[in-house]
């Protein structure tokens, strides 16, 4: 039986980051991955999504060209050609990941790994021993239960495999994947309907973001609020969907494609012994099937750890990378207290317009700091849209706490929000106050200057 200092199950963002960092410290590392290296982010998530978002952004720029004095043009977007370009880039990145592992001495085994117990891992009938074992198997798209014909719907995993652009699309979901796909396809010319169970999208985000994006979406596409799908049926002219909700029962369609974007589940099925799940060997799972870990990423089984989406903590690629590296620092880098602080994690929703956010929403701040919250906000038209019609609005908010007005939440919806929030996240991490922002000289004319001039 081959032995290693560190055995990693999963070649996604968190697993690879931990494996490479551990190898740099001199650990003997084994990484096990059944699919393409890079995990969801590289193959079916943020990387190809951003390329499509860029294409959609260019389409929107062309749309506004006439308002800036250019003679209007109507270029044709070649979905099939662009999709192949994106798939080629993903394949290139797969190769880079494999080359990096080889260069740093990480042993790579292709196959599905199962944890048999502390220090014991099985891959295709071969057992391996690891002094430390990391579970980093990521997540997968959730499919609905109890809906007749649900198999007719696709998931985010299928989006980047499409050979041609669907013209009539229904997306079911209200989270970031749903609004991103809806925005991209609508900007590229598809006729999009978005179905949400509640009255708005992104219900867990600050109200300024959730309400603002809901309004933008309602202007650009068909938004079906307080509606649930109950049945899918394929007919000669497409897929029809039976629905129920605030307006009562009915049917919508036809659609070329229906996408389920109703959330993601942790990849814990099949990760334990073949005759039992992870809990049969002492790895505790929560009610959603995610692996329970403490602040140091320890599971309830000694010598076994977990990072990334499989834990359900903060399901973002940079979080998985940071957590994996911190774990390697602790186990092999002589840093016994190293661990990731999951607070003040910035994130971006690549919708149209994009969203940038870090810290607490106004509602969460009021709940945590009753009677101590003060909010500053601004809503305006970016100069980019001065001559356009309609004129999308940019909205910004600072959520402050206490007499010193420490900023605990920063939120922006509007053009360039995706690039604004990273720098401001550094300021919040350092404990910036409203006075600190006020003392900062504005860059004019920009949208981001509003954050340092709010009154």
Q: Which residues are catalytic?
A: 444
Distance of CA 176 to the CA centre of its chain: 7
Q: Which of 133, 137, 139 is CA-nearest to residue 22?
A: 133
CA angle 288, 292, 295 (to 5 degrees): 135
Q: Which of 311, 319, 269 is CA-nearest to residue 134?
A: 311
Cis geometry, peptide bond prior to residue 390 (ω within 30 degrees of 0) = yes
User: Which residues, 6 or more positions from 86, have their beta carbon under 8 angstroms from its beta carbon?
Assistant: 48, 51, 52, 160
E strands of 83-125, at which residues?
107-110, 113-117, 120-123
Please give the Cα distance from 277 to 292 (Å, whole number). Answer: 14
Q: Contact 371/52 with Cβ under 8 angstroms? A: no
Q: In Å, what is the CA distance from 9 to each residue of 68, 130, 140, 218, 447?
A: 52, 11, 16, 43, 44
* Burial group, residue 149, by CB count within 10 angstroms (0-12, 13-18, 19+): middle
Q: Which of 72, 68, 64 is CA-nearest to residue 390?
A: 64
Please give the Cα distance from 414 to 391 (Å, whole number). Answer: 11
Radius of gyration for the alpha carbons in the chain, expressed in angstroms and rounded: 24
Q: Which of 297, 268, 267, 288 is CA-nearest to residue 280?
A: 268
Please give the Cα distance from 345 to 290 (Å, whole number). Answer: 20
Please give the Cα distance from 448 to 440 (Å, whole number). Answer: 12
Taking the CB of residue 369, how many other CB atoms lie within 10 A of it? 16
Q: Which of 255, 85, 95 is CA-nearest to residue 170?
A: 255
* Burial group, residue 336, by CB count within 10 angstroms (0-12, 13-18, 19+): exposed
CA angle 317, 323, 326 (to 5 degrees): 140
Please give the Cα distance from 206 to 309 (Å, whole number). Answer: 23
Q: Contact 275/298 with Cβ under 8 angstroms? A: no
Q: Which of 408, 409, 407, 377 is CA-nearest to residue 393?
A: 377
């Amino acid at each position: 039986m081959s032995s290693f200092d560190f055995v990693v199950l999963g070649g996604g963002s968190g697993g690879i980051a931990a494996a490479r960092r551990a190898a740099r410290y001199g650990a003997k590392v084994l990484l096990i991955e059944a699919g393409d290296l890079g995990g969801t982010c590289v193959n079916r998530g943020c990387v190809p999504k951003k390329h499509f978002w860029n294409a959609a952004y260019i389409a929107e720029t062309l749309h506004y060209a006439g308002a800036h004095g250019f003679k209007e043009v109507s270029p044709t977007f070649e979905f099939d050609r662009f999709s192949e370009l994106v798939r080629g880039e993903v394949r290139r990145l797969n190769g880079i990941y494999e080359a990096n592992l080889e260069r740093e001495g990480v042993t790579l085994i292709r196959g599905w790994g199962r944890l048999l117990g502390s220090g014991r891992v099985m891959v295709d009938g071969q057992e391996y021993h690891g002094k430390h074992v990391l579970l980093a198997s990521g997540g997968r798209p959730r499919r609905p239960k109890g809906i007749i014909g649900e198999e007719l719907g696709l998931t985010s995993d299928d989006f980047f495999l499409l050979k041609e652009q669907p013209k009539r699309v229904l997306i079911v979901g209200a989270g970031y994947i749903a609004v991103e796909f809806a925005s991209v396809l609508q900007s590229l010319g598809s006729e999009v309907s978005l179905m949400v169970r509640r009255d708005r999208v992104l219900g867990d985000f600050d109200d300024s973001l959730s309400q603002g994006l809901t309004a933008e979406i309602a202007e650009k596409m068909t938004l079906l609020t307080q509606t649930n799908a109950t049945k899918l049926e394929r007919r000669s002219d497409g897929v029809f969907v039976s629905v129920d909700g605030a307006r009562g029962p009915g049917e919508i369609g036809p659609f070329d494609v229906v996408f389920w974007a109703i959330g993601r589940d942790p990849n814990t099925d099949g990760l334990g012994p073949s005759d039992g799940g992870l809990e049969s060997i002492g790895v505790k799972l929560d009610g959603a099937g995610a692996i329970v870990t403490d602040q140091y990423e320890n599971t309830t089984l000694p010598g076994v750890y977990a990072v990334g989406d499989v834990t359900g903590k903060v399901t973002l690629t940079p979080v998985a990378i940071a957590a994996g590296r911190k774990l390697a620092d602790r186990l092999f880098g002589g840093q016994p207290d190293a661990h990731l602080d999951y607070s003040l994690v910035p994130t971006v929703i690549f919708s149209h317009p994009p969203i940038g956010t870090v810290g607490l929403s106004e509602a969460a701040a009021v709940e945590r700091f009753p009677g101590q919250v003060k909010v500053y906000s601004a809503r305006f038209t970016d100069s980019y849209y001065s001559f356009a019609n309609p004129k999308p609005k940019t909205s910004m908010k600072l959520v402050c706490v206490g007499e010193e007005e420490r900023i605990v939440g920063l939120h922006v919806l509007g053009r360039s929000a995706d690039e604004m929030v990273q720098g401001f996240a550094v300021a919040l991490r350092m404990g910036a106050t409203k006075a600190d922002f006020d003392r900062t000289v504005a860059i004019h004319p920009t949208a981001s200057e509003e954050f340092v001039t709010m009154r």
